[in-house]
Amino acid sequence: MSGNASARLCDMTVHELQGMLARGQVSSREITCDVLARMDEVEASIGAYVTIDREESLRSADAADAAIARARRDGDLGSVGELAGIPVALKDNVCTHGMRTTCCSKMLENFIPPYDATVAERLRAAGAVIVGKTNMDEFAMGSTTETSIFHVTRNPWDPGRVPGGSSGGCAAAVAAGEAAAAIGSDTGGSIRQPASFCGVVGMKPTYGRVSRYGVVAFSSSLDTIGPVTRDVHDCAIMLNAIAGRDERDSTSAPDAVPDYSEYVDRGVRGLRIGMPKEFFGPGMSDGVRSVVERAVRALESAGARIVEVSIPLVEHALAVYYLVATAEASSNMARLDGIRYGYRPEGRADVDVADLMSLSRGQSFGMEVKRRIMLGTFVLSSGNFDSFYGRALRSRRLLKEEVERALTECDCLASPTAPTVAFRFDEEPDDPLAMYLQDIYTTLANLAGVPAISVPCGFANEMPVGLQIMGRMFDEGTLIQVGRAVELGSGIGGRRPVVGGCAK
């Protein structure tokens, strides 16, 4: 799409739109109106959003236009925010002042936060136009964006297929041209897997790089906030806007934040890219394997050195993840009781507080959330705490050490993002465990706290395939370097789905 003057504004990248706004070739109102028009055209078939704020979006766009006009008049375009006038979407677990934040659950169906999450605050400060909140698996627990109480989201490349999850609404919106970029959350792959399925870029930064303040918690030691974009350059721009220390988040890291845009054109010559041999065994579809291996060869042709590494304990990562994540989910969900806020059944003055809490939670939580709460409660129970949760934490430490050891032998690790392309709704396994295996390549980065990015690298069966790059803690810059090389080597830059009759 880059450089295509005939492209619609809603299909352009953030950096293309930035240039046009700076040169006065287009206004933020025009961009925002085109994004809203695309929503009108395709939302019925995609279902990426649960809340769209048209009036506030246009007010924000007009404010951005006024700020850009003043800056141009004063000869100081550097005074406006980096995202001034750019329409972005937020996953519906990110609190937004005055705009409902539901986590796509009946429990919070009518919750309107009295404050902004830090990421929302920083996007507004950068001048972004927040157009709405995207669909997600309920409380971010899922891999298909089907457990939302509102509706399912469909993959823009094939509406008969899932978009991935739990940030499926974010990935679908960006892929379909319903937002220039989006912010999602990633606990075990919830940004990267839908990015892979929908053919967009998704990054999970280092744990602590981006503040979690105001983002509804699923698993507090695993949750990470990151961007979903059309290309790697846009990913760098979005990360610039949201990264950095936040005093309101005790887990927020104080490490200095570089300008990630400076890494986009550095290339990969001389970099060592590790291939964990355990990630290339059985379980990966032949189509995905072929595309990923071709992408790795392209990196080698671009000057990178490919080395084999080993992470023997990775076979335990999925089990460790689901013990830690469900235990922390059980604890975090305890605050949602229908007493202080959240869903409460009407007309039940005859019950005591304990029964009211039980009714509220029983009627408002979906089956997947209940399953994970029950698993986590079992894991944390007095007779099981040490043998399950305690052992999982010790195993997590060993896994982290193995990842760090592997990264002493190379600059980053490459693998598929998901073992398959997006599957059809009618192909889904009934067994929840089989669905959890979709996270087999992604959970390791969350357990180790390291950054990881998914970049489109080709197509299998006419569906996108993502290459995952994991790096050292706080070294997102190297991921951007390698991700950009993947884009250049794949030869698919700018390819977009055709959805709702809109050819892109």
Residues marked active site are found at 91, 166, 190
Q: Which residue has the tokens 């760090």?
A: 404
Give Cα separations from 156 to 163, 400, 462 (angstroms).
Answer: 8, 36, 12
Strands (E), 304-438: 305-309, 412-416
Helix (H, G, I), strand (E, B) or coil at 305: strand
CA–CA dist 100, 102 (Å, integer): 6
Q: Which residues pair with 464 in a beta bridge?
A: 459
Give Cα separations from 16 to 60, 227, 234, 364, 440 (angstroms).
Answer: 20, 17, 9, 43, 35
Estimate to the nearest angstrom the gap between the alpha carbon of 315 and the chain centroid: 24
Q: Which two tokens stand for residue 339?
A: 């007493």
State in Å, rounded, how far the first CA of the chain is from the last one. Answer: 8
Q: Which residue has the tokens 């739990």?
A: 166
Q: Please check whether residue 224 is in contact with residue 479, taking contact to mean a CB–CB distance below 8 angstroms.
A: no
Which among 441, 483, 404, 413 is positioned nearest to 272, based on CA atoms?
Answer: 413
Q: Which residue has the tokens 């506030």?
A: 56
Helices (H), 205-335: 232-242, 286-301, 317-333
Q: Please check whether residue 211 is in contact with residue 169, taking contact to mean a CB–CB distance below 8 angstroms.
A: no
Q: Please check whether residue 143 is in contact with residue 196, taking contact to mean a CB–CB distance below 8 angstroms.
A: no
Which among 447, 448, 442, 444 is positioned nearest to 466, based on CA atoms?
Answer: 442
**Residues making up the chain, counted from first to last:** 504
Q: Which helix (H) or strand (E) holds 87?
A: strand 87-91
| DSSP, res 430 | S
Estimate to the nearest angstrom the gap between the alpha carbon of 385 and the chain centroid: 31
Neighbours of 477 (CB within 10 A): 20
Helix (H, G, I), strand (E, B) or coil at 76: coil
| DSSP, res 422 | P
Query: How do beta strands 181-186 and 224-229 pair?
Result: antiparallel
Q: Please check whether residue 331 is in contact with residue 376, taking contact to mean a CB–CB distance below 8 angstroms.
A: yes
